[in-house]
Structure 1
Amino acid sequence: MFSEDGSGLMPARRLLLIGLVAGFALFVSFAVYVYQGELKTQLWKPALDAALEKVNLRRISNQSNSSTTQDVSPHPMPFNVTDPLSGYVNVLDDRGPLKLHCNVCAMVSSSGQVLNHEAGTEIDKADCVIRMNDAPVTGFEKHVGTRTTIRVASHTSFQLVNKKKADLLVKNKGLTFVAWGPDKSMTRDGKGRIFNGLSKLAKELKDDVDMYMLTPQRMAYADKVFENETGKPRQSSGSFLSTGWFTMILATEMCDQIKVYGMISDEYCKKYPQDETRYHYYTSPGNGHECDLYKRHENGRKNVHRFITEKTVFSRWATFHNVSFHFPSWH
């Protein structure tokens, strides 16, 4: 292995050995590099995947936006996806929140339009019949039916309902009563005037009627839905929400199919400018015409109901919640 002159390894063999050592060192370095690279990739993989996912989602979104402008999101946006009726709480502390589901709901308008048709028999066929505020049944059965499953009332109408409780509430065993109102009227601290009245009535009728109210979160949600659908904040636009607004939201959460009776569309008053249908079917004709009231409120600057705007929104919701409008038809 040594050279003939004793100077060490022979030149050729020495070069070969040096090459082998260098090659081995290079191989080890490369293996370490690869291992570290793989390790780093594994450590950063979650962040990398997340970033790529965002890019991919953005790309899909851009493709969707470029191919169509149709809004496919649900209307209204749900208050709670897993528990749609959360936020409707019982007036009595020892009773649970609202739990009610109906296959077919008949939502009966308080408009004088219901008097133009005898839809009572058809309305009574629905699984659940929904009425609003102090709209009566007695004396109008052939037009509005005889059954009432749910009655939704505003804080301003509660006293009227209370005065007619024998006919509107007690007469309907098992009735579900839902009241809505601002926080100051519905607070449970003894200062809420409407809540105090509801509580007293609930204790009196607890064997016949289940009474519920909207939580402050539910009330805020109703405002937010109005803003989302119209682009205008409710308060700063000078708008009051109607009982119809709260009732339609409840119906979309509770019913598989909604049949609305006696409600006019947003275009009705334009098509029939001379229409003199009364605002409520149970008030005297001299108490005002529906279209006159709708126009006055729609054009008002503050403290008004946007009835026509609400009807435009309802028309949009109809495609998402199997809503149809009868007597008059909206189509």
Structure 2
Amino acid sequence: MIRKRKQMAAVLLLNLLAIVGMFLIYKRAHSALQQIFNQEKTDQGNSAIMREIMSKRKEVNDQLYVGRQNNDVVKTHNQLNIAINQDIPLSHDNHQTYYVAANGKLGLDFHCKTCAYLPSSGRLLGTKAGSEIDNNDCVIRMNVAPVRGFEEDYGKKTTIRVICFMSTPGMNDDIMTGEFAPERMIFWGVHPLKQPRAYRITVDAMEKYPHIKYYFFRPETEELMSELFEKETGRSRMGSNSWLSTGLFAMKMAFDICDHINIYGMIHDQYCQQHQNDTAVFHYYGRYRNKTECGYYDKQERTKRGGHRFVTEKAVLGKWANQHNATFYYPSWDGYNFTENIQTPFVMNDRMNI
């Protein structure tokens, strides 16, 4: 009897071990399949999001086409809505179709003879270029770069802020009110479906700061910017895990609204190779002011897990600036060796891997 019980216990134990083993095999197989699924989802994510955005255009804008004649915003059911989606396609002959005001009107209703374009680079620190910058008809700043405390080097006038969806939480009284408040703000990446948190923050800001005029890059324009990046570099933005910078969007807008662009504090794609001991900081404010610009550029240029290709973008901007009326200061780009064929580490590494 005892022997029989031991045999039964052994059989039960073996069955239990078999069940546990099958469960572990299932978990491992499920994990592998999930990784494959997630990779496919990552590769196709942005395209799927854009399809979803466009398919829900009517839902988002149902009540936004009434009573907009002179309003900057429209209230629907006591909640602000932004008329980001439009049924009108982009026209490359009319760049006004690239933008939309909060009231649903296409285009940008302003123009500047001279523009000061200000990246957030620390290269202007100590230059005392503030008065020179403010002498421009329009001053274009990026994201939530502060003005207070930096007026001597970076000026105090703000005509336009170009802001990324990731920077919307930084909109506060210090940059949105008083003498440093922008006259206009233009957003990219803000959409109720694609970036709902940034959209809610933006809506709140529009209610809190009604003295500012608000505009948006259309979702189709953002897709166009990806296409332009791929055309210039020969590399897929999504496939290479590359993020576009606010500076690229701001430069696109500057080409559309400015007769002449004075660019302050931007280096070209060959600068860091030519100045290997350069110590200028990436940003003149915030958590990036302890990182060197050249060091951070190089790290982002070579990362494979997603990053800004700042060096490559500078090559693209140099190519574009060569076709427009633009001048570079601090540093000057005099003697810059403009090349039609971009040869940055990001682009060349891909070519060497083919």
TM over 0.5: yes
SS of corresponding position for 1:321: coil
SS of corresponding position for 2:120: coil
- 8 Å contact kept, 1:130–1:152: yes
Q: State whether structure 2 residue 184 is matched by structure 1 residue 180.
A: no
Q: 1:145 aligns with which of 134, 155, 169?
A: 155
Query: Which string of whole-angstrom CA distances, capped at 9 and with x for unpartnered residues, describes residues 116-166 of structure 1?
Result: 411111110111100001111111111111100000111111111x2xx22
- Residue 200 of structure 1 corresponds to 204
Q: 1:319 aligns with which of 311, 318, 322?
A: 322
Q: 1:105 aligns with which of 102, 115, 118?
A: 115
Work out the CA distance in 1 between the residues paired with 2:283 and 2:221. 27
What letter matches 1:200 in structure 2?
Answer: D
**Which of these two proteins has the greater Rg computed from alpha carbons?**
1
1:80 is displaced (CA, Å) by: 3.2
Work out the CA distance in 1 between the residues paired with 2:137 and 2:98. 23
SS of corresponding position for 1:143: helix
Work out the CA distance in 2 between the residues paired with 1:299 and 1:305. 10
SS of corresponding position for 2:125: helix
Please identify runs of 4+ aligned residues in structure 1 that moved more than 4 A.
none
Q: State whether structure 2 residue 95 is matched by structure 1 residue 84.
A: yes
CA RMSD of aligned residues (A): 2.0
- Distance change in 2, residues 1:92/1:287 (3 Å): farther
1:168 is displaced (CA, Å) by: 1.2
- 8 Å contact kept, 1:91–1:198: no
1:174 is displaced (CA, Å) by: 6.2
- 8 Å contact kept, 1:85–1:99: no
Q: 2:125 aligns with which of 115, 130, 149?
A: 115
- Distance change in 2, residues 1:87/1:286 (3 Å): closer
- Distance change in 2, residues 1:286/1:126 (3 Å): closer
- Residue 266 of structure 2 corresponds to 263
Work out the CA distance in 2 between the residues paired with 1:237 and 1:116. 37
Q: State whether structure 2 residue 134 is matched by structure 1 residue 124.
A: yes
- Distance change in 2, residues 1:268/1:173 (3 Å): closer
Q: Unaligned regions of 5+ residues in structure 2, if any?
A: 1-89, 335-354
SS of corresponding position for 2:186: strand
Length, aligned pairs only: 244
Q: Unaligned regions of 5+ residues in structure 1, if any?
A: 1-78
1:96 is displaced (CA, Å) by: 6.0
Work out the CA distance in 2 between the residues paired with 1:104 and 1:286. 29
What letter matches 2:303 in structure 1?
Answer: G
Q: 1:228 aligns with which of 228, 231, 244?
A: 231
What is the TM-score when the length of structure 1 is the normalising length?
0.69
Work out the CA distance in 2 between the residues paired with 1:105 and 1:120. 14
1:261 is displaced (CA, Å) by: 0.2
Work out the CA distance in 1 between the residues paired with 2:285 and 2:197. 27
- 8 Å contact kept, 1:188–1:196: no
- Residue 284 of structure 2 corresponds to 281
What is the TM-score when the length of structure 2 is the normalising length?
0.65
